[in-house]
Amino acid sequence: MAARDLRRAGPAGLAAALGKALLDEASADGLVACDAAGRITYCNAAAAAFLQAQLARAAGAELAGLLVFLGDEALELRFRAAVRDAGPVEFVVARPDGDDEWVEVRGVPVAGGMAFFLRDVTARERSERTLRKNEQRLRAATESLRLAHQAARAATWEWRTGRTLRWLDLAAARALIGLGGEPPEEEDIGDWRTFVVEEDMPAVAAALSTLRTRGEAVFEYRVAAADGQHRWLRSSAAVVERRPDGGPARVAGVTLDITPQKLSEAKLQREVAERTRAERRQQLLIHELNHRVKNMLATVQSVARQSLGRAHGAGPLADFEDRLMALAWTHDILTREHWAGASLKVVLTRTLAPHASGERVELIGPDLRVSPKMALALAMGGHELATNAVKYGALSNETGRVTVRWRLDPEATPVRLILDWQETGGPPVTPPKTRGFGSRLLERGLAGELGGDVRIAFERAGVRCDISAPFQPETHEPEGELDDPVFPPPTERPSILPN
């Protein structure tokens, strides 16, 4: 308003002009006046800034078109109803620039329309939104913790000096100890101890003493539940605040129900104890069986000496006893291995040991463990070949040697064991005119027992025997291992006697 206009207006006009100037320049809040149709009749500079509109353009515009309701139709309807009915209204809308800034709008009815006050509440709105998000996170974390405690059968607690023990989840604490009904808000530490089984109180007292001195403790104990059953609990506690004298002022802890775990441990211990007893019984039975088999073999040896010795002389008796000894030695190996199987090298070593020293017999092959059936068959076959070598072949002089090689043929289906017996350095070999018992035992008995092929070649340089049979591995891992095989020096013919 120009100066001469102010002079013409008089005192009343001057006051009105000054008031408008104050509203335009001095107020930090926006002020918008609207008529009954919601069109802007007055807008100060602060309001124009909030609405992102120039003063000239704002005048006559519809206020609803300048507000950003963010798609909230209900909010827009409230605003239009307030304008239509000239009623008070208050809400928060976004600023038109959309940069996460907010404006509080308060409308009051005035003569001829509405007056709206606009205030920047961005800082307040952001704080409130952050607070709401934090509250949501806290509720989610609290619920997750509750569910975790429920799943883990746990309860947390806090204890302060001179005050009672306070369970943070009373229902969980009640369920943990196995008490019915709703627990009190606070439960005295002395009352809590009364639930502990008397035999476990010394361990609890020792743990609490450790807690006072070291600042933390973990201890397990039983409590007597309302149903009379004992429950196992594990408490983990830590001093989180100390008094000036160094004693604990505040202790936080969590208690878990470990009853299922303890029951599983007890069951496992019972099963282990029962298995140990069963294994001991099995060992006793095996030892008893071994003792009886040796007695039986000794009886057979005695009967053979009395019968074959008188009827056929010392030669056939010696052959029979040698075969019996080979069977007995292999039986002893398998017994020591709990009849799971045996090392092929050990079986051949023990079988050939009575016939020659290790310098004249060479065993070459991988470390294979064979089934009891294959071990017995190869032991008998090795004995027959060694006996023939001692009588007629490479071991009948001072320079001959025997080489035994074995390997697996993985290309065969099923996998086959290939074993070759080769004699060298003995007297020239002359093929026999007839097959003796030993040859028949090898070519028929051994082949039939192993389900394979046995070929004996009486080559002039030395006897050769090729054995091919489906590989029969041991049934399971043995419980004990034999020492590496070593050829003992030749000994006199032993007698089969029980240990």
Q: Is the four-CA dihedral 279, 285, 288, 294 of positive or negative sign?
A: negative
Q: Of 248, 245, 249, 222, nearest to 233 (Cα)? A: 222
Residue 189 — very low, low, confident or very high, per pLDDT cuts 50/70/90? very low
Round the CA-based radius of gyration of the chain to a whole number and report it.
51
Burial of 267 (0-12, 13-18, 19+ CB in 10 A): exposed
Rounded Cα distance between 287 and 275, Å, is 18
Q: Is the pLDDT at 382 greater than 80, yes or no?
A: yes
* Higher-confidence position of 139 and 209: 209
Q: Within a 10 A sphere around the Cβ of 67, how many other Cβ atoms?
A: 22
Q: Is the pLDDT at 487 greater than 50, yes or no?
A: no
Residue 441 — very low, low, confident or very high, per pLDDT cuts 50/70/90? confident
The strands making up 416-424's β-sheet, listed across from edge to edge, are: 361-364, 401-409, 416-424, 462-470, 453-459
Strands 401-409 and 154-160: unpaired
Q: What is the pTM of this model?
A: 0.40
Rounded alpha-carbon distances, angstroms, from residue 160 to 44, 188, 211, 220, 240: 60, 11, 14, 22, 10
Q: What is the mean pLDDT of residues 164-189?
A: 60
Rounded Cα distance between 69 and 91, Å, is 10
Q: What confidence score (pLDDT) does residue 292 get?
A: 60
Q: What confidence score (pLDDT) does residue 280 get?
A: 79
* Higher-confidence position of 493 and 331: 331
Residues 6+ apart with CB under 8 A from 443: 435, 454, 455, 456
Strands (E) across 131-229 are located at 154-160, 165-167, 216-224
Residue 480 — very low, low, confident or very high, per pLDDT cuts 50/70/90? very low
- What are 474's two structure tokens? 């041991």
Q: What confidence score (pLDDT) does residue 498 get?
A: 36
Q: Is the pLDDT at 245 greater than 80, yes or no?
A: yes
Q: What confidence score (pLDDT) does residue 345 get?
A: 92
Residues in the chain: 499
Q: What confidence score (pLDDT) does residue 81 get?
A: 82
Burial of 73 (0-12, 13-18, 19+ CB in 10 A): exposed
Q: What is the mean pLDDT of residues 12-35?
A: 59
H or E element in which residue 467 lies? strand 462-470
Q: Is the pLDDT at 422 greater than 90, yes or no?
A: yes
- What are 467's two structure tokens? 């054995």
Q: What is the mean pLDDT of residues 328-335?
A: 62
Q: Is the pLDDT at 424 greater than 90, yes or no?
A: yes
* Higher-confidence position of 349 and 324: 349
Q: State which of 51-60, 267-276, 278-287, 477-486 shows the largest mean pLDDT.
A: 267-276
Rounded alpha-carbon distances, angstroms, from residue 158 to 57, 152, 177, 240: 65, 19, 16, 10
Q: Is the pLDDT at 364 greater than 90, yes or no?
A: yes
Q: Is the pLDDT at 375 greater than 60, yes or no?
A: yes
Q: What are phi and psi of 471, to 5 degrees?
A: -70, 130
Strands 361-364 and 369-370: unpaired
- What are 212's two structure tokens? 């006072």
Q: Is the pLDDT at 214 greater than 80, yes or no?
A: yes
For residues 63 and 118, is the Cβ–Cβ distance under 8 A? no
HSE of 293, CA atoms in CB hemisphere, 13 A: 16
Residues 6+ apart with CB under 8 A from 464: 420, 421, 422, 423, 456, 457
In the chain, the percentage of residues whose pLDDT exceeds 70 is 66
Q: What confidence score (pLDDT) does residue 436 get?
A: 67
Q: What confidence score (pLDDT) does residue 55 get?
A: 74
- What are 52's two structure tokens? 């992102």
Window from 6-15, 104-113, 222-231, 415-424 with minimum mean pLDDT: 6-15
Rounded Cα distance between 30 and 105, Å, is 9
Q: What confidence score (pLDDT) does residue 462 get?
A: 93
Rounded Cα distance between 304 and 450, Å, is 28
* Higher-confidence position of 447 and 140: 447
Residue type, 302: S
- What are 436's two structure tokens? 């003796």
Average pLDDT, the chain: 75
Q: What confidence score (pLDDT) does residue 12 get?
A: 42
Q: Is the pLDDT at 401 greater than 90, yes or no?
A: yes
Q: What share of the chain is helix, strand, coil (3-state, %, to 5)?
A: 45, 25, 30
Q: What confidence score (pLDDT) does residue 488 get?
A: 42
* Higher-confidence position of 19 and 39: 39
Rounded Cα distance between 169 and 496, Å, is 76
Q: Is the pLDDT at 493 greater than 60, yes or no?
A: no
Q: Is the pLDDT at 337 greater than 90, yes or no?
A: no
Q: Of 446, 387, 385, 458, nearest to 417 (Cα)? A: 446
Q: What confidence score (pLDDT) does residue 478 get?
A: 45
Rounded Cα distance between 102 and 97, Å, is 10
Rounded alpha-carbon distances, angstroms, from residue 424 to 305, 332, 418, 458, 460: 34, 31, 20, 12, 10
Q: What's the pLDDT tens digit per position in 256-297? A: 888 888 888 878 788 888 888 877 777 776 666 665 666 666
Domains of the chain as residue ranges with CATH: 3-120 (3.30.450.20), 153-257 (3.30.450.20), 329-470 (3.30.565.10)
